[in-house]
Structure 1
Amino acid sequence: MPQEASPIDFPGVIHEGDLVVCGQATAEPVTLTEALMAQAAHLPPFRMMVGPLFSDTFSAACAPNVAFQSYGVIGNARRLAKAGRLDVIPSNYSAFCADFASRRHKADVVLVQLAESGRRLSASLSNDYVIDAARGARLVIAEINPDAPFTFGAEWPEDVPIHFRVAARRPPVELASPPLDDISRRIAAHAASLIADGSTLQSGVGRIPDAILSSLSHARNLGIHSGLINDAIVDLIERGAVTNAEKGVDSGITVANQVIGTQRLYRFAHENKEVSVRPTSYTHGQGILARINRLVAINSALQVGLDGSVNSETLNGVAIGAIGGQLDFVRGANASPGGRAIIALPATASDGTSRIVADVETVTTPRADVDAIVTEWGIAELRGCDLAERARRMIAIAAPEHRDALSARR
């Protein structure tokens, strides 16, 4: 039986050079990560692998002996990146997770948040790389959170040992949906015109994906197969827009890799057999995605070039985003019967500069994979277009004040 321990004496278990992996996003085991950071000054130098951060556990000033790593810069991870404390591994999310399964990335210590139902355990809010990281780890410490939902599909494998159990001292991290604004609603109105009844949706976190989802309450027989689900998905299910009846796979089931939202979402997902939190090899697997009917991938970007190349990673040489699952789902949607791959973004940044540019500084999704780009000014349908026609269509959806300058760069 795993030992009950509270608090963990990390100086006794962290070795010099260890790779410590913790659950990401809302699956962060905050009781454990807060204790780790509180004791970090007494620990030897080690590496810490994090994903999106939505807690305040890790600050730029904390733990100078800790080298942070991630597959992207999402949420509060930007604080670490801005301070030069975060090394980014530029990898598609599917490949990043697979690298733990293959032991390319080998964890020494794994910190995980679990839900418990009877004698069963579930990874609850995320079925990502943590289980595979735990398979080869020297030490696995589980934070058992009574407020975390027990989700099907994410059951903790019996062959992966848990060495210590700790009682959670607070509910799971929550991430509320941001308020919608006029620009996101205008973008959503254009994007919604590309989404037919019976489509299966993938979307991310943020104002624009939420706006697009909220504009679909009139739709019928939508399905969900996504890297994540949030509160906006619950809205669509409760309004009857999502039935998962026409997906072609997993009929009647909402499929996701992560659950990111509020307690309302967590209560909805708890022991709900119509929600399945599946491993990345399934949610992002090209063979699965190609079998889904009318898969519509909804993703955002920092910049899009006149040739259609998409940048979701860097601005002015600084990492502020991630590859994530964007390319996984773009290619999956392109392979899906009747699928669409939508990249939606505001035409201008907060400082007034154009987000439609002559050339992107980093290519996240290559121009050969791009389908439709959407801004508040319209839709640029790029699939099958030559470069001259792509540039013309991209300029047409740029902000009017930037169109002349972009035309001069063609």
Structure 2
Amino acid sequence: MDSALSDPHNGSAEAGGAANGTTRPPSTPEGIALAYGSLLLMALLPIFFGALRSVRCARGKNASDMPETITSRDAARFPIIASCTLLGLYLFFKIFSQEYINLLLSMYFFVLGILALSHTISPFMNKFFPANFPNRQYQLLFTQGSGENKEEIINYEFDAKDLVCLGLSSIVGVWYLLRKHWIANNLFGLAFSLNGVELLHLNNVSTGCILLGGLFIYDVFWVFGTNVMVTVAKSFEAPIKLVFPQDLLEKGLEADNFAMLGLGDIVIPGIFIALLLRFDISLKKNTHTYFYTSFAAYIFGLGLTIFIMHIFKHAQPALLYLVPACIGFPVLVALAKGEVTEMFSYEESNPKDAAAVTEGSKEGTEASASKGLEKKEK
């Protein structure tokens, strides 16, 4: 799931090139700077816009758009689940043919990528539709059972504009499936990251500290302790990482010497930064101090990761630098402002539970009113 920034060795031999006695030409300083500057910019975009959209998502009333809330128990279990998944993928690549595994993964992420990209571009595309666009409403309903035992399995509402976005996203999906081009990979990767930051919500700051702390240990162990993380990241042909070629200036769009950044290094800090934005709004001071502080901390942490990697010429676990920065900077600001208690007491309720309570209250009110009317008639 999560992967470190790639090893920036210049002139390293490729698998095929070594047999022929050829090596990859060294990347130029300009190419390296462009690659890592682009990765930094691409990492910031889904965090910034995903955080903004998470505020609207938290206030949403549509059940299908409600976020998934991560509790402290989920946060504690997540590094264990991620470790088992990572090790399982590593063993799969060692035992089975890499070609067939990546074929299955490509089909799986082809579908997920289209849906994620469609959801991402939908708000932007709405601005381009004319006022007289025939925007018909549709509903995909799949139920199980009948009568009182009928249970909804799928209940998805969409309109004609959503179908247009789905069609445009499908074009990118076919491009990715046929060519595996790095631009198509990045479009899907950005969509996954933005959706993750928007729809995955931490219920409080303590949960965020547990999640980031656990994944801090996970990332350091699997990068420095073993070769599992780097092996999976380089073998896994799916849009679970952002990539940018270091030889773009020499080879153009057909460049193939990539630097990479795992989506986990974007989404995990991103959902914590989004939580701090919602905390800022809850203070009702018309300032976004904690959001901007954590956002600047992310830039500092990722920049430090790139610098250390360039100095030591070895892949780095980005969360090693991102976690202390993203947690430490906002806590220091809270200490300076005397708002530590407010920060750690801020709690977000599960919107699904709140909706269920609201619905239950509504049904209870209707039932009480009905009984009162019956008594009055008697």
Per the normalisation by structure 1, the TM-score is 0.21
Report the structure, 1 or 2, having the larger helix content: 2
Higher Cα radius of gyration: 2
Per the normalisation by structure 2, the TM-score is 0.22
